[in-house]
């Protein structure tokens, strides 16, 4: 595997010492790693296409095959589509985990570590590239939703905010995936990750209302970080949601911001620290 080492801006031979120069160096390195990851998708588009098709398939499958059996308030398509949007953002953790652990297993990360580059650039570059990938996937899902009859009724500004919350959730999941990939160091461990992620995705309000769940399970689903984003986007899209007397059901936007920010605050420094400790 080749590693791109060219950069858009020249840098000094020795690491910079001032805060401003270190920041510029880190940004330049991050952009270099981002372009390297984007180039892989251009040269090997199969994985990108497969991820797009899988996300669209989940939306269509649940809508057409199971929609008639689902008891939700209002039109099921308008209930379902925001849930699939958020679910796709969470499931993207698997591709991030696989990419990070594959680079470790193949020695690409060791090659980066041998270069005079910012320690945070490798992980932030991966996060930037994967976030762009997720934005493309989200755009494809929005187009699919519009094609099957889903509509956002909250206006342009509310729609943009809702999409921003979805990408914020994806950014949080990115840092979780990067950290776990650095810890696991083996792409085969993705199966263990799926055992953790899939219950998180389905134990939520993405497909059904928590009010239909057992009394002990419904509150767990309501406080799921994924459920917070789903509820907030439904509210902003003015799509039907679930009715509940709980605080989180009545105030979905704040938890949809707080949960991802907390995850980023925890796993971003952990990821950078873990990367720096790889050779220890």
Radius of gyration of the chain from Cα atoms?
A: 20
What are the mean pLDDT values of the chain's consecutive 10-residue runs (280 residues total)?
Answer: 45 56 79 84 78 89 81 80 94 89 84 78 88 93 94 94 97 94 82 83 87 87 92 93 78 94 95 81
Place of tokens 């873990």: 274
pLDDT confidence of residue 9: 43
pTM, to two decimals: 0.86
Q: What pLDDT score does 1 carry?
A: 44
For residue 239, give the 3-state DSSP assignment.
Answer: coil
Question: How is residue 43 written in tokens?
Answer: 């040269």
Q: What is the structure's pLDDT at 27?
A: 83
| CA proximity to 103, closest of 119, 123, 128, 120 | 123
Pair 124, 27: CB distance under 8 Å: no
Which uninterrupted H or E stretch holds 154?
A: none
CA distance 84 to 59: 6
């Amino acid at each position: 595997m080749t590693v791109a080492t060219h950069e858009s801006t020249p840098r000094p031979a020795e690491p910079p010492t001032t805060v401003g120069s270190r920041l510029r160096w880190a940004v330049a390195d991050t952009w270099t790693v981002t372009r390297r990851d984007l180039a892989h998708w251009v040269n090997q588009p199969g994985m990108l296409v497969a991820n797009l098709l899988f996300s669209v398939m989940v939306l269509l499958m649940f809508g057409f095959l199971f929609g008639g059996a689902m008891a939700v308030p209002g039109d099921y398509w308008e209930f379902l589509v925001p849930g699939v949007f958020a679910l796709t953002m969470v499931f993207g953790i698997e591709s991030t985990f696989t990419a990070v652990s594959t680079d470790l297993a193949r020695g690409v990360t060791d090659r980066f570590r041998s270069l005079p580059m910012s320690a945070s650039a490798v992980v932030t570059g991966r996060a930037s590239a994967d976030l762009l990938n997720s934005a493309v996937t989200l755009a494809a899902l929005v187009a699919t939703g519009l094609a099957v009859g889903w509509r956002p009724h909250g206006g342009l500004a509310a729609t943009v905010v809702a999409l921003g919350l979805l990408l914020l959730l994806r950014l949080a999941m990115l840092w979780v995936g990067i950290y776990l990939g650095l810890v696991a160091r083996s792409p085969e461990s993705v199966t263990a990750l799926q055992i953790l992620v899939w219950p998180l995705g389905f134990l939520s309000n993405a497909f059904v209302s928590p009010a239909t769940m057992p009394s002990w399970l419904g509150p767990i689903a309501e406080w799921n970080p994924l459920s917070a984003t789903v509820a907030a986007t439904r509210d902003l899209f003015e799509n039907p949601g679930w009715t509940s007397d709980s605080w989180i059901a009545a105030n979905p936007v704040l938890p949809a911001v707080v949960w991802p920010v907390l995850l980023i605050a925890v796993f971003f420094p952990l990821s950078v620290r873990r990367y720096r400790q790889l050779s220890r």
